[in-house]
């Protein structure tokens, strides 16, 4: 392993960013791997649509609670220690989910998965942000987004194949396998980035103070809420996509991935070229065009739902427009929302971003768990509300964005 490190250093290979991106790729797609198996899980546990939706809700709730602790722990104990402990706990929770036979214990396992995966995700995000500081940071963030979303695009297709051949427990095993692939390289090749003298003690008062500081930071909130709400809108759709396609429209479960994969694949491709588009056209123009595409896809989907035109192909095309427009927001805003913050707030800020995202997602899935009965109208209503909220915050935060192509956020003032 030391020889590999020396080889990478000699030839300028960015080993640490690649390991951290691989870590995110190993953890983020777990929901997409699980979603194709929800109809089978519903039958296996003899429960209703609303109850199976709660598997996603408890996972989101666990994530929210986890990030509120993981972020400050990163600033107190160090990034690497939180990554290691969280990764081991996540794998143990994933093993638990494979062997449970009671739905209540499955809910507990999903909660623990959401709670424990926050450690490696938050720590990995901070490490990536600190390892790529400089002019190429937007490139690495865009590459990370595109790599993660490529894996998320492939996950429904792979999940459908696995579920068709091995049942829903095969999907649960695949989550463990993917987790190992992501975790192991980060454990061996990523070093601590926060010196002991810059760490602050973990005290509830400081924890609350850090979050209150971020909530009062107008730049951080204006630029974080749009990317969080829009990502949550996509997750809300994903949560019901298998039930809508398979149970309501009657599409064979083995073909579900053909409709879900292109949606996230569109986001992945646009994310990959997002930094190039910003260099060529400027940040504000990219955001405006992306917002226009989101409104086009969302309003078309809303109109289809109002007139009860349920079609898998048209639903997929509309969602491709929506997530394609999301890409500039989710890929390009992140550095602008974070880099003015001091190092001792980076962990809290990563946690706050994930908490806001999961708060929107859990609210949406909880609402759908109550009202969803098959048609997509309630889902498109949530998407439209989240899009309006995102647009409002982005409008208020426009003064913090630079029009000049290729510009990067400055450290320092708010």
Residue 138: predicted pLDDT: 66
Please report the pLDDT score of residue 411 as a whole number: 30
In this prediction, residue 351 carries a pLDDT of 74
- CA distances from residue 308 to 61, 157, 290, 311 in whole angstroms, order as listed: 32, 27, 27, 9
Q: Sketch out the chain's domains with CATH numbers.
A: 8-187+211-400 (1.20.1250.20)
Short-list 31, 41, 56, CA closest to 246: 41
pLDDT at 412: 31
pLDDT for 6:
53
pTM, entire model: 0.70
User: Which long-range CB contacts under 8 A does 248-254 form with residues at least 24 apart?
Assistant: 248/310, 248/374, 248/375, 249/310, 249/312, 251/312, 253/36, 253/39, 253/40, 253/160, 253/163, 253/164, 254/160, 254/161, 254/164
Token pair recorded at residue 264: 């996230």
The predicted pLDDT at position 8 comes to 54
Model pLDDT, residue 377: 85
pLDDT at 340: 79
pLDDT of residue 225: 92
Placement of tokens 């927001």 in the chain: 329
pLDDT reported for residue 414 = 29
Q: What is the pLDDT of residue 45?
A: 87
**Measured between alpha carbons, how far is 230 from 360 in angstroms, rounded to an integer?**
9
Q: Which residues of the chain fall short of a pLDDT of 70?
A: 1-13, 50, 133-138, 142, 145-146, 149, 153, 204, 206-207, 344, 347, 374, 402-414
| Nearest residue to 268 (alpha-carbon basis) of 227, 225, 204, 326 | 326
């Amino acid at each position: 392993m030391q020889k590999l490190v020396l080889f990478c250093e000699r030839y300028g290979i960015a080993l640490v960013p690649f390991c951290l991106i691989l870590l995110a790729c190993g953890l983020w797609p777990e929901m997409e791997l699980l979603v194709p198996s929800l109809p089978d899980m519903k039958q296996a546990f003899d429960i209703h649509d609303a109850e199976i939706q709660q598997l996603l809700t408890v996972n989101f709730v666990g994530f929210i609670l986890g990030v509120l602790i993981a972020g400050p722990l990163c600033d107190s104990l160090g990034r690497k220690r939180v990554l290691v402990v969280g990764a081991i706990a996540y794998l143990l929770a994933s093993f638990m989910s494979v062997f449970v036979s009671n739905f209540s214990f499955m809910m507990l396992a999903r909660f623990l998965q959401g709670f424990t995966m926050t450690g490696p995700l938050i720590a990995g995000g901070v490490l990536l942000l600190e390892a790529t500081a400089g002019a190429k940071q937007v490139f690495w963030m865009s590459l990370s987004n595109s790599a993660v979303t490529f894996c998320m695009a492939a996950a429904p297709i792979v999940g459908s194949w696995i579920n068709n051949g091995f049942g829903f427990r095969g999907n649960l095993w695949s989550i463990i396998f993917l987790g190992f692939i992501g975790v192991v390289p980060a454990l061996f090749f990523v070093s601590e980035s926060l010196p002991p003298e810059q760490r602050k003690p973990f005290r509830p008062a400081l924890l609350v103070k850090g979050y209150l500081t971020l909530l009062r930071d107008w730049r951080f909130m204006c630029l974080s809420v749009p990317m969080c709400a829009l990502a949550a809108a996509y997750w809300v759709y994903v949560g019901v996509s298998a039930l809508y396609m398979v149970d309501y429209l009657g599409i064979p479960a083995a073909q579900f991935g053909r409709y879900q994969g292109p949606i996230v694949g569109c986001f992945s491709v646009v994310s990959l070229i997002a930094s190039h588009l910003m260099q060529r056209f400027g940040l504000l123009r990219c955001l405006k065009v992306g917002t226009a595409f989101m409104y086009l896809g969302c309003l078309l989907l809303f109109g289809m739902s109002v007139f009860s035109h349920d079609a898998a192909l048209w639903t997929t095309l509309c969602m491709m427009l929506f997530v394609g427009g999301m890409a500039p927001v989710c890929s390009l805003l992140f550095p602008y929302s974070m880099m003015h913050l001091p190092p001792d707030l980076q962990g809290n800020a990563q946690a706050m971003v994930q908490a806001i995202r999961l708060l929107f997602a859990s609210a949406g899935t909880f609402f759908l768990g109550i009202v969803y009965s098959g048609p997509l109208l309630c889902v498109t209503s949530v998407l439209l509300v989240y899009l309006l909220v995102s647009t409002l915050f982005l409008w208020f935060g426009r003064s913090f964005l630079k029009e000049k192509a290729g510009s990067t956020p400055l450290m320092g003032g708010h």
